[in-house]
Amino acid sequence: MTEYPTMNGAESVVRSLHGAGVSVCFANPGTSEMQFVDALDRTGLMRCVLGLFEGVVTGAADGYARMAGVPAVTLLHLAPGLSNASANMHNARKARSPMLNLVGDHAVRHRGYDAPLTSDVAGAAAPFSDWVKTATSPDTFARDAMEALGAAMARPNRVATLIAPADIGWDEGGVVAPPPPPPDFAPLDEHALERAAGMLDAETVLLVGGRVLEQPDAVALLHGIADKTGARVLAPTSNRRCDRGAGRAGIDKVPYPIDMALETLAPFKRAVLIETVPPVAFFAYPGKPSLLLPASCEVMTLAGLDGDGPAAIAALAERVRASKLIAPVELPPSPAAGAITPATIAAAIAHALPDNAIVVDESISGGRDIWRATRAAAPHAWISLTGGAIGDGIPMALGAAVACPDRPVVSLQADGSAMYTIQALWSQAREQANVTTVIFANRTYEILKKELFAVGANPGRSALDMLDLDRPHLDFVSLARGMGVPARRIEDAAELQRAIADAAHEPGPYLIEAMM
Amino acid sequence: MTEYPTMNGAESVVRSLHGAGVSVCFANPGTSEMQFVDALDRTGLMRCVLGLFEGVVTGAADGYARMAGVPAVTLLHLAPGLSNASANMHNARKARSPMLNLVGDHAVRHRGYDAPLTSDVAGAAAPFSDWVKTATSPDTFARDAMEALGAAMARPNRVATLIAPADIGWDEGGVVAPPPPPPDFAPLDEHALERAAGMLDAETVLLVGGRVLEQPDAVALLHGIADKTGARVLAPTSNRRCDRGAGRAGIDKVPYPIDMALETLAPFKRAVLIETVPPVAFFAYPGKPSLLLPASCEVMTLAGLDGDGPAAIAALAERVRASKLIAPVELPPSPAAGAITPATIAAAIAHALPDNAIVVDESISGGRDIWRATRAAAPHAWISLTGGAIGDGIPMALGAAVACPDRPVVSLQADGSAMYTIQALWSQAREQANVTTVIFANRTYEILKKELFAVGANPGRSALDMLDLDRPHLDFVSLARGMGVPARRIEDAAELQRAIADAAHEPGPYLIEAMM
């Protein structure tokens, strides 16, 4: 604590974060964050990645954390910058991804005036953060930052937002603070273990999420348990990350469409939850339930969100004398020359995925067949949209590439969703991120059309105008080139497979507009 | 109230809004707003304009309201959609522009579950709204909407956000509600008038904002008062709208840079405020004050934000026997062939502006000379960024063009700021909005570099990487074409003048990337 000469609050935060293992800063700074820009510059301790829009910054931080297991720090500019960042904070929060946001505010003495950028930063942070604090003094600022990091790294991981009034950062008196203590798991409940072991039969579903899905051995053990007992294994519809592919045990997910979800879960009288909560419908629909398990289903938690799911699974396997099981699966046939459809794009991706790839999935309706098709693809990590706030994919791909520079990233991106944070392509080009983006160009908010038809509407021109993206056409090749990313358009499924494989093996970003 | 058969809540809101004069809906809807999409479609009462990102939606609504004088309605999707919209709600709020947001939420019965899109919508709305309410029943839903409209149209105008749980919109029982009563101005205070009249001399500044700047006759009368008494007339740095140009009285503004602002206001011992508040520094700086008027300055309000500024000015003019004064001004010379600089771009725009244009100003540092240069340009309305949340310009230009289809819009746009809501170009193309966008391509966050130098930093590579936009180059011609907007790049000031004049006379959108 005494090794540094006098420093300002901002420098004490940068040094403390670095000391605690935070080595990347995703930033879209403004005037009130210039002391951080200066401290990052002078210390040279972190890799700084600029986003041209704040949703890029938090989406990238989310993708980074999902792959690195530790958070980056973000740098955001007052309440409007924070609000631009919030949709992807929401997604990170729903993913239970660790995130640490540093948001500048006016100097304390300036906040009482109605300056143009004055607004309620803490109020804006609250709905999208699990932890919010405003720094009050340079000498406690780094300690606040370590508290924020501790909150982000707690079990389950959380979104922590520390608000930094400009003068707290620029005033001298900063004191470097020690890293937060490592978090503990909630202990395994032996009674719950016994109860779960006694519940397993063909009318029981094991619902597993969180860290379990990142450990293929734990999933394989689950399948052994299922094989031994007749129980079924399912994962939630959306997850922070899943490590899967050839030689690993796969897992089925609760389907997104409400009727399919209800049908999938209807047979079960008992549910055992491991690092997840009871599944809920994405939206409410007239005459349909919000909770997806049957009302009469007996639900018990073996390991909560704060528990150690893989350890619980190991204990359960021991109890029922099950061992790992990896069912053999095969790739679908390569697509023949022909139209790009949900089925052929899925087959193309399954064959094109390079070894050890990171798949970022924001493919929405066009990607419905990919999860199943890629079960036997080369081993990969799969990270996907979790909170339903579209515009997470291109930034997450950037962040994943920063976290894992030696792994190819394949970013599966619906066209409508792509436009929310399209600016992330520029950061991919600047960072020479190894990302192959595949745009699923169906030129519509297809999923909304389905929803509109589902509520029985008979849409006319005016409704379709709010759901179609075909007037004018979005030209993603031009958009990508405009931000320094080479790109091409492809209309044939077989060519698509070759193009993805080629691009994924080349360094740097590339974009393929797949015309569906 | 009895003329309609049974209808759902959403339809009652659409019909009531239309009955109250709201005829445009800027929308980025999702599943929870499908009942509005359906009601807008079936009734055919409103022009619906789709934005590909929510910041486009609220920025367009702001530009629309500034030109139309009445709000459009926006349609937004839960808390993440609302947060994406919030930066331009912030700008509208600081402009005191009337805005009416309709934000979908989960059905009431679904809100208790932690669904992927569940979050605190009302909490997210509060920091960026002056008025927030959540609808509770189909039969009172339209009444709530009329209350929201009344709040938006109050004096001063406000940002009103009505949260619409999905079932309140889709359930039957909607009842059309009557329009809100028109707002009143606060009455003129005769004592204040007498006091103001007695204060006017060469050490007095008349600070005027709000509606006054939209009425050239009121500004001319102010100059008559100034001429008669020796007082100085100044407008705030940022304003909702100013109607100006050849044949109209111009007005100087308080400069943005803190040192220039302090120097401009230093001479004054007295200040009379009309539809504005005491000017505040944009940011706090070490050793500099937050309030820009001298601490010893006597400040009095002749007409508050809720007052009738033009009426107060007329009364004041009568009291001091002043009449309208329009000082003759001349255009700067047309730029010669040569580099595009802040001075030559200002001259080019001053000459190129067509008659009755709407100028949208988010030119930031590159546009510093334009306000003065365009004093004698063809008569025009000027709308600009007010809340410091960059990314308002391209959407506002869209909204202004929707409000005034017969007027050419010239959108002056800094490159860094353009990237926050670049998606608005697509809506400009779709709506065939008559907008000529001029990108001020200096390939840097120039204003932040100035701020960093101002705090005495000596930035290195890492700091500059967070402020420079030149690696890779942003190619705005490609970006525009990718969204259906024709575009060209220009490097010569004389050619720039011709290009702006040509594009502004052609229908539909066009983009000019002016290389500075």
pLDDT band at A4; cut points 50, 70, 90: low
Interface of B with A in 322-341 (CB under 8 A): none
Q: Count CA atoms closer than 13 A to A108's CA, side-chain side.
A: 10
Is pLDDT of A340 > 90? yes
- Per residue in A185-205, pLDDT (tens digit) is 999 999 999 999 999 999 999
The pLDDT tens digits of the residues spanning B102-151 come to 999 999 999 889 999 999 999 999 999 999 999 999 999 999 999 999 99
Task: Tell me the shortest Cα–Cα distance from A415 to chain B, in angstroms.
Answer: 10
Instruction: Write the DSSP assignment of A91-124 as a string of letters.
Output: HHHHHT--EEEEEEE--GGGTTS--TT---HHHH
In B, minimum Cα distance to A387 occurs at B116
Phi and psi at A362, nearest 5°, equal -130, 45
Among candidate residues B217, B216, B219, the one with its CA nearest the CA of residue B233: B219
Q: Do A452 and B83 touch (CB under 8 A)?
A: no
Q: What is the pLDDT of residue B321?
A: 97
Q: CA A446 → CA A17, B29, B382, distances in Å?
A: 43, 13, 39
Sheet holding B242-244: strands in order across?
A: B242-244, B380-384, B357-362, B409-414, B435-441, B510-515, B487-490
Chain mean position to CA A91:
6
Q: Per-residue pLDDT tens for B332-369?
A: 999 999 999 999 999 999 999 999 999 999 999 888 89
Task: Give CA–CA dist A309/A303, Å, rounded.
Answer: 6
> A120 and B109 in contact by Cβ < 8 A?
no
Which helix (H) or strand (E) covers residue B60, if one does? helix B54-68
3-state SS assignment for residue A291:
strand
Q: pLDDT at position A231, please? A: 98
Where do runs of H (alpha helix) occur along B321-458? Answer: 342-352, 370-373, 393-403, 415-418, 424-430, 446-454
pLDDT value of position B3: 59
Contact B113 A290 (CB under 8 A): yes
Res. A1: pLDDT tops 50: no
Residue B214 phi/psi, 5° resolution?
-90, 0
Task: State mean pLDDT over A81-103.
Answer: 98
Gap between the Cα atoms of A63 and A359, Å rounded: 11
How close A52 gets to chain B, by Cα (Å)?
6
Residues 292-321 of A with CB under 8 A from B: none
The backbone region for A70, taken as left when phi is positive above 0, alpha when psi lies in -120 to 50, beta otherwise, is beta
| Closest-CA distance of chain B to residue A127, Å | 5
pLDDT value of position B46: 97
The predicted model gives B195-221 an average pLDDT of 98
Contacts of B255 (CB under 8 A, 6+ apart): B237, B261, B264
CB A135 within 8 A of CB B144: no
Identify the closest residue of chain B to A444 by CA–CA distance: B52
Of A41, A117, A128, the CB nearest to B463: A41
Nearest CB partner across the interface for B116, out of A86, A117, A238: A238
CB contact under 8 A, B280 and A460: no
Largest CA-CA distance found in chain B, in angstroms, rounded: 71
Q: CA B210 to CA A51: how far, in whole Å?
A: 35
CA distance A21 to B190: 66
The type of residue at B150 is G
Interval A385-411 mean pLDDT: 97
Nearest residue to B68 (alpha-carbon basis) of B20, B15, B27, B23: B23
Amino acid at B515: M
ipTM, 2 decimals?
A: 0.97
Could you say which of B42, B115, B466 has the minimum Cβ distance to residue A280?
Answer: B115
**Looking at the complex, does the CB of residue B21 fall below 8 Å from at least one CB of chain A?**
no
Task: Report the predicted TM-score, pTM, of the whole model to 2 decimal places.
Answer: 0.97
The pLDDT of residue A2 is: 47
Q: Report, as an integer, the average pLDDT of B247-268.
A: 96
Q: Rounded to 5 degrees, what are φ and ψ at B226?
A: -65, -45
> Which residue shows structure tokens 């405003």?
A134
Q: Which helix (H) or strand (E) holds B231?
A: none
- Could you tell me which residues come within 8 angstroms of residue B79 by beta carbon, excluding any fewer than 6 positions away? A86, A90, A127, A128, B117, B119, B120, B121, B123, B124
Mutation site for A-interface testing, chosen from B41, B293, B439, B485 by largest number of A Cβ within 10 Å: B41
- Residue B445, C-beta contacts closer than 8 angstroms, at least 6 positions apart: B416, B467, B468, B469
pLDDT higher than threshold 50 for residue A450: yes
Q: A466 CB near a chain B CB, below 8 Å?
A: yes
pLDDT, position A297: 98
Do the chains contact at B84 and A420, CB–CB below 8 Å? yes
Q: Is the dihedral of CA B439, B443, B445, B450 positive or negative?
A: negative
Q: How far apart are CA B439 and CA A454, in angstroms?
A: 43
Domains (range + CATH), chain B: 9-170 (3.40.50.970), 190-320 (3.40.50.1220), 342-515 (3.40.50.970)
Contact A195, A165 (CB under 8 A): no
Residue of chain B with shortest Cα separation from A453: B34
Task: Mark yes or no for CB contact B284/A87 under 8 Å.
Answer: no
- Give the whole-angstrom CA distance, residue A464 versus residue B50: 10
Q: What is the dihedral of CA A169, A171, A172, A177, to 10 degrees?
A: -30
A41 shares contact with chain B (CB less than 8 Å): yes
Chain A residues within an 8 Å CB radius of B459? 37-38, 41
Banded pLDDT at B462 (limits 50, 70, 90)? confident
Would the CB atoms of B120 and A114 count as touching at under 8 Å? Answer: no
Beta strand A270-274 pairing with A252-253? unpaired
| CB atoms closer than 10 angstroms to residue B190 | 9
Q: Do B53 and B423 meet the contact criterion of CB atoms below 8 Å apart?
A: yes
Q: Closest partner residue to B282 among A115, A290, A474, by Cβ?
A: A115
Q: Does A501 touch chain B (CB under 8 A)?
A: no
Among B93, B108, B283, B415, most A C-beta atoms within 10 A, so best to mutate, is: B283
| CB B383, CB B63: distance < 8 Å | yes
Burial class (CB within 10 angstroms; exposed 0-12, middle 13-18, buried 19+) of A96: buried
Which tokens belong to A373? 């098709």
For the stretch A41-62, pLDDT in tens is 999 999 999 999 999 999 999 9
- In this predicted structure, the answer to whether residue A460 has a pLDDT above a threshold of 70 is yes
pLDDT tens for residues B258-302? Answer: 999 999 999 999 999 999 999 999 999 888 999 999 999 999 999
To which residue do tokens 């999420």 refer?
A209
pLDDT at B451: 83
Strand order in the sheet with B270-274: B252-253, B232-235, B204-208, B270-274, B298-303
CA gap B157, B155 in Å, rounded = 5
CA of A84 to nearest chain B CA: how many angstroms apart? Answer: 5
pLDDT at A280 over 70: yes
Half-sphere exposure of B503 (CA within 13 A, CB side): 27
Please write the tens of the pLDDT for every residue from A239-257. 999 999 999 999 999 999 9
For residue B98 the two structure tokens come to 């009337």
The strand pairing partners of B243, in sequence order, are B381
Check residue B288 and give its pLDDT. 93
Angle (nearest 5°) at CA B71 between B68 and B72:
100
Provide the percentage of residues in chain A whose pLDDT is more than 90.
Answer: 91
> CA distances (Å), A15 to each of A76, A132, A143, B308, in order?
18, 21, 11, 54
Which pLDDT value is given to residue B452? 84
- CB < 8 Å to B124, chain A: 83, 86, 124, 127-128
Q: Is B260 on the interface with A (CB under 8 A)?
A: no
CB of B166 less than 8 A from some CB of A:
yes
**pLDDT at position B4:** 65
Mean pLDDT score of chain B: 96
Q: Are A142 and A171 in contact (CB under 8 A)?
A: no
Q: Is A489 helix (H, G, I), strand (E, B) or coil?
A: strand
Contact A228, A324 (CB under 8 A): no
Note which residues in 71-130 of chain A have CB less than 8 A from chain B: 79-81, 83-84, 86-87, 90-91, 94, 106-107, 109-110, 113-117, 119-121, 123-124, 126-128
**pLDDT tens per residue across span B65-113:** 999 999 999 999 999 999 999 999 999 999 999 999 999 999 999 988 9
Report which secondary-structure segment, H or E, holds A494: helix A493-505
pLDDT in tens, B373-430: 999 999 999 999 999 999 999 999 999 999 999 999 999 999 999 999 999 999 999 9
The rounded percent of chain B whose pLDDT value lies above 70 is 99
Element (H, E) at A126: none
Which of B257, B62, B417, B444 minimizes the C-alpha distance to A77?
A: B417
pLDDT computed for residue B116 by the predictor: 94
Pick from B42, B452, B473: CB nearest A34: B452
List CB contacts (< 8 A) between B110 and chain A. Answer: 280-281, 283-284, 290
Closest by Cα among A14, A92, A94 to A60: A92
Beta bridge pairs of residue B274: B208, B303
Give the model's pLDDT for residue B366.
86
Whole-number pLDDT of residue B466: 87
B484/A478 touch (CB, cutoff 8 Å), yes or no: no
